[in-house]
Amino acid sequence: MAVHAHPDDESSKGAATMAKYVAEGVDVVVVTCTGGERGSVLNPALDNPQTWENISEIRRAEMDKAREILGVRQQWLGFVDSGLPEGDPLPPLPEGSFAVTPLEESVPRLVELIRQDRPHVMLTYDENGGYPHPDHIMTHNVSMAAFEAAADPDYHPELGEPWQISKVYYHMGMSRARMEAIDKYIVDHGGEPVYEEWLANWAKRRDTFTRVTTRIECGEYFHVRDDALRAHATQVDPEGRWFAASMDAQLSAWPTEDYELARSVIESEIPETDLFAGVRSSVKETA
């Protein structure tokens, strides 16, 4: 189960990993916490009044197309996008949006899905949301609270039989180390670096790669990831930096998607190359 804040997050974070496991026969479900109603339109070709008038329906249709490309199932948690307020001081978040919804209201919805789908592994964001979008931070909070609550037989028993998720991982894909490695490969092969601006803006940011425990070889599914991301046509510029690095550079310099093992109730040896390390043997023992 991969828990994400908005439609398109599932295609920019861990998509190749999901496609790999789907191809191996794993049942993968994406839980999308909000409808992405307040997201930006980042594709200049689609930034027009008609898009904005129909943004909710468009984002759901884009999600459905991406879901089909990835081969996953998908569930909406049903909350409203909080947007990304800007200004100094920051304006308040919209009333009723996901980031200001009490955990008492949001956690039960995810607990019900966990008990329904009974996943062995959950993917979510770290305590900073991967980046400090209020919906991403709330996704972390809800995910971790639901991880605990779903296994508690006294927590809302009407939501289903308790279920203990074996492992929880945080996405660690947007690391400095990855961007530097890809840029170095490009420059070494006579090209121009593509991540210089992003790296310059991260000058004071700690590299999340220091937290990585688990690296999934999934380069052969990078094209599936990119196709799924392009399906979110309003959210990505097809000429932008998401697609600037050549596939050769990515496969040669960094053919993995990376994670931090945040919680585990089973034993597995670190570093890992499989999200299900320790899970498969545990399932066999209890079967």
Q: What is the pLDDT along the chain (287 residues), one digit of tens a residue?
A: 999 999 999 999 999 999 999 999 999 999 999 999 998 899 999 999 999 999 999 999 999 999 999 999 999 999 999 999 888 888 999 999 999 999 999 999 999 999 999 999 999 999 999 888 999 999 999 999 999 999 999 999 999 999 999 999 999 998 999 999 999 999 999 999 999 988 888 766 678 899 999 999 999 999 999 999 999 999 999 988 889 999 999 999 999 999 999 999 999 999 999 999 999 877 656 54
The single residue listed with the structure tokens 């991540």 is 195
CA distance 233 to 45: 9
Residue 225 and residue 173 in contact, taking contact as beta carbons nearer than 8 Å: no
- Residue 135 covered by a domain: yes
Task: Quote the pLDDT of residue 44.
Answer: 94
* Burial environment of residue 252 by CB neighbours within 10 A (0 to 12, 13 to 18, 19 or more): middle
**What is the distance, to the nearest Å, from the Cα of residue 15 to the centroid of all Cα atoms in its chain?**
8
Task: Quote the pLDDT of residue 206.
Answer: 73
Nearest to 28 by CA among 77, 71, 76: 71
Cis before 271 (ω within 30) = yes
Residue 133 and residue 81 in contact, taking contact as beta carbons nearer than 8 Å: no
- Residue 231 covered by a domain: no
Q: List C-alpha distances in Å: 97 to 83, 88, 100, 131, 134.
A: 9, 21, 6, 18, 10
Range of the domain at 116: 2-173+256-286
Q: What are phi and psi of 218, to 5 degrees?
A: -145, 25
Strand order in the sheet with 256-264: 73-79, 29-34, 2-4, 121-124, 167-171, 256-264, 214-217
CA distance 120 to 167: 7
- Residue 247 covered by a domain: no
Residue type, 148: E
pTM of the entire structure? 0.95
CA distance 138 to 130: 11
Q: Residues annotated as binding site?
A: 6, 9, 136
- Residue 157 covered by a domain: yes
Q: Residues annotated as binding site for Zn(2+)?
A: 6, 9, 136
* Count: domains in the chain: 1
Cis before 89 (ω within 30) = yes
The pair of three-digit structure tokens given for residue 249, joined into one six-digit string: 């550079």
Q: Please give the sequence-ordered ranges of beta strands (E in DSSP) within 129-255, or none if there are none.
A: 167-171, 214-217
- Residue 158 covered by a domain: yes
CATH of residue 164: 3.40.50.10320
Q: How many CB atoms lie within 10 A of CB 248?
A: 11
- Residue 243 covered by a domain: no
- Residue 113 covered by a domain: yes
CA distance 249 to 19: 20
Angle CA 30–70–28, to nearest 5: 40
Nearest to 77 by CA among 162, 5, 172, 178: 5
Q: What are phi and psi of 272, to 5 degrees?
A: -115, 160
- Residue 245 covered by a domain: no
